[in-house]
Chain A
Amino acid sequence: MSTLQALRVRLSQGTQYIKDLRTATPTGHHGRPVISTAPCATDCTACKDVCPTNAVSLSKVTIDLGRCVFCNACAEVCPPQKIVFTPAPQMGSDSREKLFVREGEPEVIRARANATFSKLFGRSLKLRQVSAGGCSACELELNAVANVNFDLQRFGIEWVASPRHADALVLTGPLTRTMKDAVQLAWDAMPEPRFVVAVGACAISGGLHDSPEADRGFLERVGPALYVPGCPPHPLTFVNAILDLIGTP
């Protein structure tokens, strides 16, 4: 009886994994924005005014993906509809300065492959996640990268329970003051070589929770090697950013 049930489950499950994570595009997702050069309405500041995280700057319309929460509000209010959030998930970067999408620049933001990272972690990368004010959305999406759909383990990349076993500290949330000591402890427990990944607008810039209750000193001392934008980032954004960094095709 139970064997038959197990077979039925297996049959209904079918094949769930996404074959090519590098080219998969989540239809309908609000991912990397594109800003056209259509002329702005005279003296219009609608996109900037409506942004909940001050991610939009003007003269040449620019969106800071490190602050953006992809709420689509700027796109909705723009009279000439200059801003479109495309489903493209690829937008992780190894540099904070590169996380800007500017008007008329359709350049794809990607993390540069780093030969050292590739040599050290290209075949095995263990990640320890620490949430310091994350609202559970980033955490759920990071869990999802290990589910049967995204199956990041196929690349030798895995979540581990102890910082002792980890190569990278994956941080979410704005870094609440009450987690300051714990984050430092986790980092201190990690063997070298090691690096930090900042996931989501909160970790990258404070995002929606850029408040006095955050203490971002740790990130100022230990600069992230990788930034993964989103609120929360789609699992494909995380996967692509990590694979870019360690040079996995």
Chain B
Amino acid sequence: MSDSVLLARLDVSQLTPRGPADWRPDVIHRLGAGQRLVTLFARRLGDEALLTSVFQTAAGALEVTRAAMNAAHGYHELTTTFPALHCFEREMHEQTGLRIADHPWLKPIRFEGQEQAAMNGYPYYRIEGKEVHEVAVGPIHAGVIEPGSFRFSCMGEQVHHLEIQLGYQHRGVERRLLGTDPRRLTPLVETIAGDTSIGHAWAFCAALEALAGCELDEHTELARAFVLELERVAMHLAGLSGLCADVGFLQGASSYGRLRTTAINTTMRLCGNRFGRSALRPGGVGLQLPPDLLELVRKNVDLLRTDLEIINERFVTSRTVRHRLEGAGVLSTGQAKELGVVGPSARASGVLIDTRHQAPAGVWKQRPIAPQVLPQGDCEARGKLRIAEMNESLRWLAEVLTSSPRFGGPKKPVGPLAGNQLVISVVEGWRGEVVHCLETGPGGELIHYKAQDPSLRNWMGLAIAVRKNEISDFPICNKSFDLSYCGNDL
């Protein structure tokens, strides 16, 4: 078992599904009492839909409930009371046909199994009025980025409503995760969101090891945490570089950009790939840190810390940057909580959710990493928060290196998976919590794999934050949230 990862393993037979009449009030009670919904998903069993709901208690523990109901009858929606559930209810409806009565907006999350023509034909919200005009952007954008469609309803230059349509990246990942020997899935898992390879790979490995009863030593856990923090630093640098480019602050764009090169080249020296592909494998790691490399890694981390301080100082004091970012794209604390936003986007709005601090034991308990949080919720806060997280991660990496850690060594064998088990693992990736849920059948075969990238929940945060902003500020709002399209589309 992976101590550093927030994890729950349950015997499915102990998890008696409730009927909708019991399950729904229980969800309302839990959310009303301050629990947080981590995920909610369903699968189809004949005429029935089997729902799995995962909550996090105020103390940080995961609790799981299940419901079974006739899919055609379904249940009465919860989104109106708890908007954070909108994406889960929409996804369940899309994936299983489950009826969710009176749901305000059952728009498909990713248009699974459909053609682009069906997506083009889907009616966007329209605002009527003589002064209203619409701006359609996408699915192809004017940069080297993933596709997605944005429809703005504007009054003059001001955005009144933004509707985001995704699904252009749908590759059918969840189905493919069930098609092969689960022990060989790492490369596929690493591309669920290719910029969060390590976050997703760790959630997968931890879940698989829990199913196989494979115990890891602390060196392996530390090695995984080490590359996870490197991934965080690298992607925060990439995001800041983009944010700087979008406000025309080119010194920041080039400096953060070249420092990202140093960060990802460090990962490459450890595992052979700049994105940490193959760095994690079930039962161990695919990376090494021999003594000669240790010196180089130490040098790189020191260089990052020194040079970052210089460019960070310029970033936070530059008038250009402040003028553009201050007050733009505000997501209030209340909105962030209501929408269930996670990760740095939540923390920059004053909502502290960081699952690294909620794992019961493991690397971050032995070597704490300080949580970062800012109250403002604007583009500037999201930029500054990423700077603060980078600084803290680099401090942590430097601290780990002073102990001359040993990475590598033989992998533990991952044996057959236990049957009739449900495992939920949560890893704090750079973009927020990465949630993987694996369920095995009687013979230990995988019968359900739910992979959840934080982007699924955060896209609505962007849509709400951009309201009442100039449409010309959309690029910086978008970049400050820095969400994954394929992570949503799967």
Contact = CB atoms under 8 A, between A and B. Distances in A.
B191 A208 contact: yes
6 contacts: A71-B187, A133-B171, A134-B194, A173-B169, A178-B116, A209-B172
A145 B36 CA distance: 42
B261 A182 contact: no
Interface of A: 1-2, 5-6, 8-10, 12-13, 16, 26-30, 50, 52-53, 69-73, 76, 85, 129-144, 147-149, 159, 161-162, 173-174, 176-182, 185-186, 208-209, 211-214, 231-232, 234
Contacts of B195: 135-137, 140
B269 A27 contact: yes
Contacts of B273: 29-30, 70
Nearest to A127: B144
Contacts of B485: 136
Interface string B228-256: 00000000001000000000000100110
B204 to A, nearest CB: 13
Interface in B307-325: 307, 310-311, 313-314, 317-319
B398 interface: no
B278 interface: yes
Given A71-B187, A147-B254, A209-B171, A139 B261 contact: no
Interface string B177-189: 0000000101110
Interface residues of B, number: 65
A205 to B, nearest CB: 14
B274 A234 contact: yes
Nearest to A161: B142
Nearest to B120: A181
A6 B255 CA distance: 11
A30 B111 CA distance: 36
Contacts of B170: 133, 176-178, 213
Given A69-B187, A173-B171, A181-B115, 18 more contacts: A2-B314, A29-B274, A70-B277, A130-B140, A133-B170, A134-B486, A135-B192, A137-B194, A141-B274, A142-B144, A143-B144, A159-B143, A178-B111, A178-B115, A179-B147, A208-B188, A213-B171, A232-B194
Contact of A29 (B117, B268, B311, B319): B268
B193 A135 contact: yes
Contact of A147 (B120, B187, B258, B265): B258
A3 B313 CA distance: 12
Contact of B268 (A26, A180, A208): A26
B116 A181 contact: yes
A69 B277 contact: yes
Q: Which among A1, A85, A139, A161 has the greatest number of chain B C-beta atoms within 10 A?
A: A139
Nearest to A143: B144
B474 to A, nearest CB: 15
B458 interface: no
